Amino acid sequence: MTVPSATGLPPRVRIHEVGARDGLQNEKTAVPTEVKAEFIHRLAAAGLTTVEATSFVHPKWVPQLADAEQLFPLLSDVPAELPVLVPNERGLDRALALGATRIAVFGSATETFAARNLNRTVAESLAMFEPVVARAKAAGAHVRGYLSMCFGDPWEGAVPVPQVVRTAKALLDLGCDELSLGDTIGVATPGHVQALLGELNAAGVATGRIGVHFHDTYGQALSNTLAALQHGVTTVDASAGGLGGCPYAKSATGNLATEDLVWMLDGLGIETGVDLAALTATSVWMAERLGRPSPSRTVRALSHKE
Amino acid sequence: MTVPSATGLPPRVRIHEVGARDGLQNEKTAVPTEVKAEFIHRLAAAGLTTVEATSFVHPKWVPQLADAEQLFPLLSDVPAELPVLVPNERGLDRALALGATRIAVFGSATETFAARNLNRTVAESLAMFEPVVARAKAAGAHVRGYLSMCFGDPWEGAVPVPQVVRTAKALLDLGCDELSLGDTIGVATPGHVQALLGELNAAGVATGRIGVHFHDTYGQALSNTLAALQHGVTTVDASAGGLGGCPYAKSATGNLATEDLVWMLDGLGIETGVDLAALTATSVWMAERLGRPSPSRTVRALSHKE
């Protein structure tokens, strides 16, 4: 359907698909390794060019992704970049041994979440990431730095922009190629998003190095994404079918659904390379394996019509 | 929580609450008249200043609102404007006899929907509205013109902007004080929204006379609202708790949830006068009466925490 296109927005957006990692690590249902592999193959076949595959975290902490060593070799023919999360040097060793070329570390903008999630202060976690990033870069890998709790924190409330900028800069100073700003609990609104992006620019961080990662807990993820696009952001994290959830808002949905994002980008005439029908079919297929419907409104609307 | 506010947006938005009419007319569960009256009282107590109350349509077509004559007198002490929908002169007579001071007519931007919903051509429906609007204005009433299918139509696909502008102008020329642009099937995206608003302005329609009415079928309602606010729109239709649905996408949600809207507006520092906690409590109460959870993400997140 041809509709008027928007002006002042980027012509192309790269979607960083997180369903297989951020999505599945929050799902209660155990997913067999072969199903994960097929999921990732199907996501790439639907046109996604960056598909975060798994996490080389200790199985004790994220049992859902304990099969990273078995899964990753099944993905060698996937025509997409396949970043993997690594929490520390041990995780990096495991990822590099399997040939990973894109890794990600996961930091926190707040002390409370750093303490609860990483069992460290923010400064200690940055110190832990330092050799991880340095060695990854030395091995030729691309490094993404996730920064969680960039807008609100369940214990600390609104997170001051200067505090987020400081930690974001520190992650980039370690050598991260790109940053993913996470609204982990989904409380952000568009003005806050644009304010943070503006302050990051003022601190010398180019918009091209910034990705955004919104959660839909309060239904704000897509509006916040629009605000980020209007600021010039061209990397957007999303999760196929809206997979995953936030452990701090159990009844709420989790990540921005890739399909809802693609619907908007298609309508805006912004190229993604994604085939929405193929992606929706993949999310319906995955939802069947998880035994529950997709929370994505676009998936529900399109699959109902089929 | 204090967050950076947005610039270039209106300082205040008037929410036109449609849950009691557009929401309940699409609900399968029969709602007793006294429950509707309490719902409307609670919506006004939560700070909503415009609460569309009911519809004086023939009971055969909308049995859910067949109690309009019984309901309206129960609302005499509600501290809010209480517009009512009237389909024709007979409906207007009934509304005026009960003292209604704000009425709304419901037109279509497409011939197919006009034929199916109004059993008339677009021109015939405008001819039907002409005496309704004239007599309402003569009686001192404020008149809103709903225009449905302004972006996409399930049978006709994308609706050309000039066609929408033409019908919108015709409704205003009849004497309507304001226009509500409806994305009845929820397919719009922000560029399309801004393009239509721009063309309406170019045709001489002031933004101050335009309200927007988005459905969340594809998760786009709030992004589209943001785009409209950025264009200067200050009247936004929404439905408490996301009540209602679109008959053409049964599994999908219906109207933009008022709570999701208020969350965004609060975050943007845009005044609405609405108390989000009181509104959420009202939607939870109504959801219990309807026997199903609210589809509003904000309602789910906030009520889970309570």
**pLDDT of A15-71, one tens digit each?**
999 999 999 998 888 899 999 999 999 999 999 999 999 999 998 889 999 999 999
Give the residue-averaged pLDDT of A158-183.
98
Asked if B265 and B225 count as a contact pair (C-beta separation under 8 A), the reply is: no
**Count of Cβ atoms closer than 10 Å to residue A96 Cβ:** 19
Residue A3 has pLDDT above 50, yes or no: no
Quote the percentage of chain A above a pLDDT of 90: 87
Asked if B247 and A287 count as a contact pair (C-beta separation under 8 A), the reply is: no
Asked if A143 and A133 count as a contact pair (C-beta separation under 8 A), the reply is: yes
Query: Which of A1, A3, A272 should one mutate to test binding to chain B, selecting the residue with the greatest count of B CBs within 10 A?
Result: A3
Query: Which of A187, A189, A259, A264 should one mutate to test binding to chain B, selecting the residue with the greatest count of B CBs within 10 A?
Result: A189
pLDDT at res. A79: 97
pLDDT at res. B7: 63
Closest chain B CA to residue A224:
B223
Tokens 């002390």, residue? A111
- Work out the angle at residue B256's Cα, subtended by the Cα atoms of residues B195 and B158, and round it to the nearest 5 degrees: 40
CB spacing of A305 vs B6 below 8 angstroms: no
Tokens 């009691």, residue? B20
pLDDT, averaged across chain A: 93
CB spacing of A9 vs B191 below 8 angstroms: yes
d(CA B91, CA B107): 15
Alpha-carbon gap: B202 to the closest alpha carbon of chain A (Å): 15
- How many Cα atoms occupy the beta-carbon half-sphere of B135 within 13 Å? 18
Q: Can you give the pLDDT of all 306 residues of chain B as single tens digits? A: 444 445 689 999 999 999 999 999 988 888 999 999 999 999 999 999 999 999 999 988 899 999 999 999 999 999 999 999 999 999 999 999 999 999 999 999 999 999 998 899 999 999 999 999 999 999 999 999 999 999 999 999 999 999 999 999 999 999 999 999 999 999 999 999 999 999 999 999 999 999 999 999 999 999 999 999 999 999 999 999 999 864 444 444 689 999 999 999 999 999 999 999 999 999 999 999 998 888 899 999 999 754
d(CA B91, CA B71): 15
pLDDT at res. B8: 83
Tokens of A257: 């659904």
Tokens of A214: 């919104």
- Work out the angle at residue B47's Cα, subtended by the Cα atoms of residues B41 and A152, and round it to the nearest 5 degrees: 130
Give the residue-averaged pLDDT of A102-114.
97
Give the contacts of A245 (CB within 8 A, at least 6 positions apart).
A26, A27, A252, A253, A254
Nearest to A297 among B161, B192, B252 (CB): B252
A157: chain B residues, CB-CB within 8 Å = 1
B194: chain A residues, CB-CB within 8 Å = 6
Of 3.40.640.10, 3.20.20.70, 3.40.30.10, 1.10.150.120, which CATH number belongs to A14-305? 3.20.20.70
Query: B38: closest CA among B198, B240, B294, B221?
Result: B240
Alpha-carbon gap: A300 to the closest alpha carbon of chain B (Å): 6
Query: B52: closest CA among B27, B32, B28, B75?
Result: B75
Asked if B181 and B149 count as a contact pair (C-beta separation under 8 A), the reply is: no
Catalytically active residues of B are 246
Domains of chain A by residue range: 14-305
Alpha-carbon gap: A30 to the closest alpha carbon of chain B (Å): 25
Residue A155 has pLDDT above 70, yes or no: yes
Selecting among A132, A187, A233, A246, the annotated active-site residue is A246
pLDDT at res. B247: 45
CA-to-CA dists, residue B221 to A162, A211, B215, angstroms: 31, 23, 5
CB spacing of B9 vs A301 below 8 angstroms: no
pLDDT tens-digit map of A270-287: 999 999 999 999 999 999
CB spacing of B187 vs A1 below 8 angstroms: yes
d(CA B49, CA B293): 25
Closest chain B CA to residue A215:
B297
> For chain B, how big is the Rg over CA atoms in Å?
18
